[in-house]
Structure 1
Amino acid sequence: MNSAVSRLLTRAAGIMIVSGVVLTAAVVPAAATGYSTIASGSWAYVDSAAPRTSFVNPQGNAPVGAQVFASGTVHKFKSYVTFDLASLRGTRVVSATLFTNEVTVADCSTELATQAWLTASKRTPTWAAQPAEELRLPGPGQGGPCPAPRVEWDASGALRKALQEGRSSVTFAFRLPDAQQSDPRFGRTYNPQAHLTIEANRAPGKPTALKAGNVDCGQRKVVGPGGTQLSAVATDQDDSWLTYEFAYWPTRHPDRRVTLQSQGSSGYRAERSVQQSDLADATDYAWQVRAKDNLDTGPWSEVCRFSTDFIAPDKAPEVSSKDYTADAPPGSGGTGVPGEFTFKANGVDDVAGFYYGEFEAYIFVPADRRTRSATIVHTPMRSGPLSMAVRSVDAAGNQSPTTQYRFWVASNQPRVTCTPETGYLGTPRDCTFSSPSPVSAYVYSFNDGPAIEVPAGPDGTAHATVVPAAAGRFNVVTVSAKLGNGNFTESNAHYLNVDEGTPMVEVLTAAPIVGKPLQVKLTSVLPGSTSFTYTWSDDAPVTVPVGADGTAVITLISESPYTKQLAVHTTSGEIESGTAYEYIFIATNAPEINSTDYPRYGYSGEVGLPGRFTFTAAVPETVSFTYTFRGGAPVTVPAGPDGTATVELVPLTQYGNDIRATGTLADGTITQPALYTFYAHPKEPRLSCNANRPSPGERFQCTFTPVQSNVVAYVYKWGQDPEVTVPAAADGTATVNLVAPGPGDVQVPFTIWSVNNLGYRSEALSTGITTGPAGGGKAK
């Protein structure tokens, strides 16, 4: 390159956006597409003044148009940029933009008209041998000042053409229109590091991991009742959500192709059900699947196959065993003793296996393809009558009726004897294990303890010592025998007779009462007991020593009545005896309240009529009684020599007549309270008036008639007037004159009660009289 051209190409600094040969910069993908930016890997220019020289990857900027050198020679230039398309193979271009930036502009008043052309590939272009210009890119577009910081062309069509033709690279030419090519005023230079921004979509890949149900493609799959699930996995580099298209058809009728769709995530298994109703019985089917994103459809998978069989075996299988027969006791074999059981198809041709199990068939064993039978080894772990359920099954999973094969397993569980047979807690027991079968060892556990293995002696027995030490539970030795084959027999549970040494309890105090000490005698039973521990009601446990005679006497006090629990056990070393529970009734020390005038909870007498009530002490030491009546102030009365006191009380209302009383003992102790409730007959007076709805200002009369005995007066309150007392006539009645207040159509309250010759008032009658211009019924 001559020095003038070199200076021209390097006098302006280029804007280097990306360095390196190829750059792919992925951004966040939109649905079903991916964005990337790649940089040109090489560039070149051609010069009309050097028509046979090729300028490839020189230093400097890319010239376009005409330039006049110092010598006066006019040079016309075209520049070329080349991109590697390896990253775009297998994609569909949605859009593409070619862009670079201007470095120098000869005259910014001229329009920007630089063209970009897709050219035929040519490694070393020269002015005399320029690559063919095949397709002009729409543009240019620019923005901003001059020189333009970004000039771009639409490369979508050009890239699609290059990729469709299978090109591995693409070269674009930068040139001016023919009308401007020779005019130096339009000359420009560009950054030779051009870029392509491409929006492209990659179709989903070919689905893999095809399965019909849980059977891989290539293996024989027979579909039974209910149909099957077809599934596969497809991946897409641009989209995470795919539509799967499953297709299936009878192999003899490919024209009956059925397609079903399903949604799934890229890289994850997608499924689609094929229902039995959509399939024909005894038919071979082929199927395949492909995946689609929002823009493109991937290739079909390989073809897989399945067949159908909806008819179940119509006969239950035959079951037999020489080792375990249906003979009655003693039966055959034994627990832990394996035996063979043979299953036969019973004439059904397509049996593939059998399900079996004790009582319920759930274990699968395949059938021999030639004999359609299977033999299994089963080891019973229970003696006595057992049943083995067996069903045959074909390759499609159709199952036959069930055969229940009944057999009797001989009892070979070990025997256990313990000496002594009965004993107290803490007494060691020597237990002997024996078996009707040859055994090598025994494994036993006591209560919740660990399993311990002891070898069998020459006579086939073994010994173990256990010590029952816990009360309140079953003490059990559980033992299994170890057979020569290493299996264990059914276990045997031997329950020990254990005397828990529960102490005896004797209440010494007759008729225990609240607040008074009571004595209880405790007698130990468990040998070696050194202490009693007792709990009285909700109190904390108390421990006392066992006396030389094996007893102890304890004193208890209860501050509340009724039944209380006493729980007692003894302790001998680290062993606690059984617990004795004694329920002791504690009588209340509250006084008793009685009345013949007003019996408890009954209706008697009348309101205002006094009655006599007697308090009787429950404890001889009672010196006085304190009572309240109807929640009034407390009143204290002395107890007579006979421990009683009588008071007179007057009920003033029908309800709420409660008497609460306590006794006070000589030492100042207050007893439990007693409650006494009674009811008095209501005795409110009756009322009648001679006016119906009296008008405002109208005078009228009302008569009071007694219900209470010995009435001497009435007290009434009319409306807002103050209370008025009037005497009763000899017949016990009274008449009063009243004036109806205004305005009309109101109800005026009227309250009346009577007073007898002892000054006791009756219940009050509360009513109302309606006033108004219109007539109405008499007041009541």
Structure 2
Amino acid sequence: MNLRRIVGAALSGVVLAGSASVLVAPAASATSEHLSTTAESYVDSAAPSSALEPDWDTDLPVGARVIDGMTHLSKSYVTFDLSGVTGVPIASARLTAAEQSVANCKKNRASTQAWLTGTATAPTWDTQPAELVKLPTPVVYDTCTRGSLAWNATTALRQAIRDGRTSVTFVLRLPDTQQADPAFARSYSQVSLDVDTDQPPDTATYLSVGGRHCGPDPVYVDTLNPPMSGNTTDPEYDTLAVRFEWWPTAHPAQKQHLDLTGVSAGGETETYFPADLVENTQYTWHMRVSDAYNAGQWSANCSFIPDVTRPSVAPVVSSTDYPRESTGPGHGGSGIPGTFTFTANGVPDVVGYGWQFDQMSGFVDAPQPGAPVTLQLTPNASGPTQLLVYSYDRAGQRSPAADYRFWVTDNSPTVSCSPQSAFVGQPRQCTVTPGSSGVTGYVYTLDYGNPDVPVPANPDGTAAFTFTPRSTSDGHTHVYVRATLDDGRRSDPAEVVLDTDGGEPTVDVPPPPVAFGAPVQITMHAKLPDSRTFTYEWNYEGEHTIPVGPDGTATITVQPNGSGYFYLFVHTTDGSGLQSWTATAQVQVARTGRR
């Protein structure tokens, strides 16, 4: 189940402040440390000033033993180095000891006590360290003398670390009522301390409500049950539980909360307010993340106000530069900015206006709720133009559209070029007359996708330029000219279409079919002015270049190598290196010669 959207199985329910609530602990993922003893010793009432160490024969004795008619009362001490677990939160700790001997298996094996003691350095019966914290009754595992005992040492270990201790000593002993009774005697070995450490989850960040990021001011939302979310992370990537808590800002005693469990660490956790809220009432909420052992800090507070009433009327749009018009000639021109005013039309909580115009869009904030705004917009084309404007309230709700239509004057320049028809490589001269005032120059572009070429304007706004087409794809050259206005903007383009001859040569071939095996004589006629050479290729067999004759022609003889259709491709090149279009000629060769 993806817990980015959590409103179903993971909900523990909504609970009013002051009522009972249990947040189920998620699965644990703590870091475990297995600590072995750094010192083991025991004390004996029969040797009250001796510090005794266990050996393979004695292990760690607890209780009363009768040896050679003398009673020995014993307690055993184990010490652990805490350097590996200090500085991190203790999730749990367990002290474990293996049973080695039990005098009477019918006696309560769980009566052995474990105490946290003061620092023990070679303790004796007479110098026993203080017994500070008693561990809870142990859990007994397996059968007598083959089992073990385990004490919950969590509280005692946390206390020792809080006290600044770098090592910890525990004593294993019997209660005073059993200490002197040999029937309760027992011994232990393989004592260890298993410590689980766990960092608390991180404080939730990047809070949002209703899809809007929280900040110092209340957020307005457009629904009575908005989503609320925040990023939930954990150093150990534990499975987490998350509590969301909210209340009317003016009534903090009316807190409610909602719990989620089974949340994956490392992303956004989101849920919805489970009940409808009251419109125009300010609420505050925050969230806290927990794992199986620790709870993180409460996040920062986030305040919001539900507002589900959108602006009911469209804004009003006006402009003296571009007034409402449905026919030309219109006002302004392409590239000429105009001032427009948007007003809220009596809606008091309008905080901004959105607009769509000439394949552009934008948004402008109102200086205060309900206030008008003024901005400049620049048409990119002449003719009928539509401007759509919407007002927005604090919750981001949009009004109906204001449809403002006006006419932009055609301010494209007037362009004439000559000659109308010419070959590629032959210059054309163009003159330009401005279509509006404030023209500082022009740019022209040949055909499609070529770069703009700037042309300065004369003091009267006119200009002239010369260009030479070097190629043509469709037998025409398209010239686009736009005026550059005094603020750097451009007018609509004026287009002139000129006829441009590619100058492809003509080719004379014998009438079909040509006799099989006979050579073929072909005459080529140059058409491009100043053509110097023919470059031809016979039936894909490689190019050859020959000079153009004084009469503008050249004749070649070719030898078809079979029957069927054969092709000649030929173009000319003039003295400047300009190539003509390529002409294609076809020769048909019969199987048995002419018929």
What is the TM-score with the length of structure 1 in the denominator? 0.56
Paired position in structure 2 for 1:524: 526
d(CA) in 1 for partners of 2:279, 2:516:
89
Paired position in structure 1 for 2:12: none
Alpha carbons of 1:96 and 1:200: their partners in 2 closer, same or farther (altered >3 Å)? farther
d(CA) in 2 for partners of 1:417, 1:42:
106
Alpha carbons of 1:309 and 1:257: their partners in 2 closer, same or farther (altered >3 Å)? same
The alpha carbon displacement at 1:231 in A equals 1.2
The alpha carbon displacement at 1:515 in A equals 4.9
SS in 1 for 2:531: coil
d(CA) in 1 for partners of 2:354, 2:260:
36
The alpha carbon displacement at 1:426 in A equals 1.3
Code of the residue aligned with 1:132 in structure 2: it is E
Counterparts in 2 of 1:576-587, with a 5 A limit?
576-582=579-585, 586=588
SS in 1 for 2:155: helix
The alpha carbon displacement at 1:272 in A equals 2.8
Code of the residue aligned with 2:150 in structure 1: it is D
d(CA) in 1 for partners of 2:102, 2:99:
18
SS in 2 for 1:408: strand
Alpha carbons of 1:567 and 1:225: their partners in 2 closer, same or farther (altered >3 Å)? farther
Paired position in structure 1 for 2:313: 315
Alpha carbons of 1:419 and 1:619: their partners in 2 closer, same or farther (altered >3 Å)? closer
SS in 2 for 1:389: strand
d(CA) in 2 for partners of 1:290, 1:37:
31
Alpha carbons of 1:225 and 1:367: their partners in 2 closer, same or farther (altered >3 Å)? same
Counterparts in 2 of 1:145-544, with a 5 A limit?
154-156=150-152, 158-160=153-155, 163=158, 168=163, 171-174=169-172, 196-199=193-196, 204-212=201-209, 213-216=211-214, 218-224=216-222, 228-246=226-244, 257=256, 259=258, 261=260, 264-273=263-272, 282=280, 284-293=282-291, 301-327=299-325, 328-358=327-357, 362-435=361-434, 436-447=436-447, 448-473=449-474, 474-509=476-511, 512=514, 515-535=517-537, 540-544=542-546
Whose relative contact order is higher, 1 or 2, with alpha carbons under 8 Å and at least 6 apart?
2
1:118-157 per-residue CA deviation (whole Å, 9 max, x = no partner) reads: 14657898836742363476489999xxxx9x9975231x
Alpha carbons of 1:155 and 1:478: their partners in 2 closer, same or farther (altered >3 Å)? farther
d(CA) in 1 for partners of 2:360, 2:280:
27
Code of the residue aligned with 1:528 in structure 2: it is D
Alpha carbons of 1:564 and 1:345: their partners in 2 closer, same or farther (altered >3 Å)? farther
d(CA) in 1 for partners of 2:454, 2:412:
16
2:113/2:137 contact within 8 Å kept: yes
Q: Give 1 or 2 for the bigger CA radius of gyration.
A: 1
* Structure 2 unaligned spans of 5+: 1-26, 52-58, 66-71
The alpha carbon displacement at 1:456 in A equals 3.8
d(CA) in 2 for partners of 1:262, 1:478:
67
The alpha carbon displacement at 1:378 in A equals 1.3
Code of the residue aligned with 1:393 in structure 2: it is Y
d(CA) in 2 for partners of 1:456, 1:349:
51
d(CA) in 1 for partners of 2:407, 2:450:
33
The alpha carbon displacement at 1:286 in A equals 4.2
1:262/1:271 contact within 8 Å kept: no
Deviates more, 1:216-225 or 1:400-409: 216-225
Paired position in structure 2 for 1:677: none
Match of 2:79 among 78, 81, 92: 81
The alpha carbon displacement at 1:532 in A equals 2.7
d(CA) in 1 for partners of 2:415, 2:505:
31
2:357/2:387 contact within 8 Å kept: yes
d(CA) in 2 for partners of 1:226, 1:389:
29
Paired position in structure 2 for 1:575: 578
1:744-777 per-residue CA deviation (whole Å, 9 max, x = no partner) reads: xxxxxxxxxxxxxxxxxxxxxxxxxxxxxxxxxx
SS in 2 for 1:160: helix
d(CA) in 1 for partners of 2:584, 2:569:
5
2:90/2:154 contact within 8 Å kept: no
Deviates more, 1:359-368 or 1:112-121: 112-121
Alpha carbons of 1:493 and 1:97: their partners in 2 closer, same or farther (altered >3 Å)? farther
Code of the residue aligned with 1:469 in structure 2: it is R
The alpha carbon displacement at 1:505 in A equals 3.4
The alpha carbon displacement at 1:290 in A equals 3.6
1:47/1:78 contact within 8 Å kept: no
1:97/1:152 contact within 8 Å kept: no
Paired position in structure 2 for 1:651: none
1:696-751 per-residue CA deviation (whole Å, 9 max, x = no partner) reads: xxxxxxxxxxxxxxxxxxxxxxxxxxxxxxxxxxxxxxxxxxxxxxxxxxxxxxxx
The alpha carbon displacement at 1:546 in A equals 2.0
Code of the residue aligned with 1:424 in structure 2: it is F
d(CA) in 2 for partners of 1:518, 1:89:
99
Alpha carbons of 1:564 and 1:269: their partners in 2 closer, same or farther (altered >3 Å)? same
d(CA) in 2 for partners of 1:228, 1:240:
28
Number of aligned residues? 540
SS in 2 for 1:312: coil
d(CA) in 2 for partners of 1:553, 1:419:
36
Paired position in structure 2 for 1:602: none
Match of 2:33 among 36, 41, 64: 36
* Structure 1 unaligned spans of 5+: 1-29, 56-61, 68-73, 103-107, 591-617, 621-780
Alpha carbons of 1:139 and 1:312: their partners in 2 closer, same or farther (altered >3 Å)? closer
d(CA) in 1 for partners of 2:520, 2:272:
83
What is the TM-score with the length of structure 2 in the denominator? 0.71
SS in 1 for 2:324: coil
d(CA) in 2 for partners of 1:98, 1:188:
13
SS in 1 for 2:412: coil
1:53-104 per-residue CA deviation (whole Å, 9 max, x = no partner) reads: 999xxxxxx997899xxxxxx99876463765974875542x51356999xx
Alpha carbons of 1:382 and 1:176: their partners in 2 closer, same or farther (altered >3 Å)? same
SS in 2 for 1:334: coil
2:244/2:285 contact within 8 Å kept: yes
d(CA) in 2 for partners of 1:375, 1:109:
94
Counterparts in 2 of 1:76-115, with a 5 A limit?
79=77, 81=79, 87=86, 91-93=90-92, 96-98=94-96
2:355/2:361 contact within 8 Å kept: yes
Code of the residue aligned with 1:390 in structure 2: it is V
Alpha carbons of 1:232 and 1:313: their partners in 2 closer, same or farther (altered >3 Å)? same
Deviates more, 1:390-399 or 1:223-232: 223-232
2:224/2:278 contact within 8 Å kept: no
The alpha carbon displacement at 1:320 in A equals 1.0
1:270-306 per-residue CA deviation (whole Å, 9 max, x = no partner) reads: 223569x956655544444343546776665455333
Code of the residue aligned with 2:390 in structure 1: it is R
Code of the residue aligned with 1:318 in structure 2: it is V
The alpha carbon displacement at 1:251 in A equals 6.4
Counterparts in 2 of 1:675-714, with a 5 A limit?
none
1:339-379 per-residue CA deviation (whole Å, 9 max, x = no partner) reads: 22111122222222221021578422222325432222212
1:204-243 per-residue CA deviation (whole Å, 9 max, x = no partner) reads: 4543332111321543222226964321122334444334
Paired position in structure 2 for 1:117: 114
2:241/2:259 contact within 8 Å kept: no
1:505/1:522 contact within 8 Å kept: yes
1:525-580 per-residue CA deviation (whole Å, 9 max, x = no partner) reads: 21111223345565545544322111233446667777766544322132112334
Code of the residue aligned with 1:159 in structure 2: it is T
d(CA) in 2 for partners of 1:361, 1:443:
24
The alpha carbon displacement at 1:399 in A equals 1.6
2:311/2:393 contact within 8 Å kept: yes
